[in-house]
Amino acid sequence: AQRVTQPEKLLSVFKGAPVELKCNYSYSGSPELFWYVQYSRQRLQLLLRHISRESIKGFTADLNKGETSFHLKKPFAQEEDSAMYYCALGRGGGADGLTFGKGTHLIIQP
Amino acid sequence: DAGVIQSPRHEVTEMGQEVTLRCKPISGHNSLFWYRQTMMRGLELLIYFNNNVPIDDSGMPEDRFSAKMPNASFSTLKIQPSEPRDSAVYFCASSLSGVGGYTFGSGTRLTVV
């Protein structure tokens, strides 16, 4: 069975501090992982996916198969980063939808 | 492209009434997904279609829920009869076989009173 775990419901950090949002997954095959961001009452937006290995808005995430993790990181938080962040695992190799974690509410304090 | 379009944005209805949510996927995408978002359960996949054919509806909570995709540019999610516990935000998403990720609509916020 597929499962995505985001252990922190809420994470509060000060502006300029480093941010790390944790994500662990459970999947027997080769995982395809995503991070989505949802700003207040808006649609979910794709932030990044591990296949593309790109950095968006200063965020990066590295897939660690040994630890089954895909943590999201940013060296210096900005106030506009405040949002809900969802880690997601592609079902069936990515073509059959996504299994989402419960999400982490990131609050950046001034 | 205007992205994935959902209507209505908000729906308030009385318990027992029929509710129909609508979704227009991105042109050219061949997969369409319906998700439900609640505080308690987070984002749950309800059903998805590939080339207009329902592939997996195991996430549909009960027989009161049904979904259709009559053509490549339109899908509906219907709840009949609606109950207060159906109150949630319902998202539609589309994809081209998963390539490039999934694009979500703005969601329909449903309140059943």
A56-101 per-position pLDDT tens digit: 889 999 899 999 999 999 999 999 999 999 999 987 766 788 899 9
pLDDT at B50 over 70: yes
Q: Is A1 helix (H, G, I), strand (E, B) or coil?
A: coil
pLDDT at A32 over 90: no
A 10 A CB-CB count for A74 gives 21
For residue B101, give how far its alpha carbon lies from the nearest alpha carbon of chain A (Å).
8
Phi-psi region of B22 (alpha: psi -120 to 50; beta: other; left: phi over 0): beta
A86 in reach of chain B (CB within 8 A)? yes
For residue B40, give how far its alpha carbon lies from the nearest alpha carbon of chain A (Å).
9
- Top residue of B36, B43, B55 to mutate, by most chain A CBs within 10 Å, is B43
pLDDT band per the 50, 70, 90 thresholds, residue B1: low
The whole-number average pLDDT for the span A11-39 is: 93
In angstroms, the CA B81 to CA B15 distance is 7
pLDDT at B65 over 70: yes
Q: Is A8 helix (H, G, I), strand (E, B) or coil?
A: coil
pLDDT of the residue at A94: 66
CB contact under 8 A, A95 and B55: no
pLDDT at B63 over 70: yes
In angstroms, the CA B107 to CA B91 distance is 4
What SS3 string covers A40-108? CCCCCEEEEECCCCCCECCEEECCECCCCECCEEECCCCHHHCEEEEEEEEHHHHCCCEEECCCEEEEE
pLDDT of the residue at A93: 63
Give B89-98 pLDDT, tens digit per residue: 999 999 987 7
Residue, of A67 and B100, whose pLDDT is higher:
A67
**A44 → closest Cβ in B55, B91, B97:** B91
pLDDT at A55 over 90: no
A85 in reach of chain B (CB within 8 A)? no
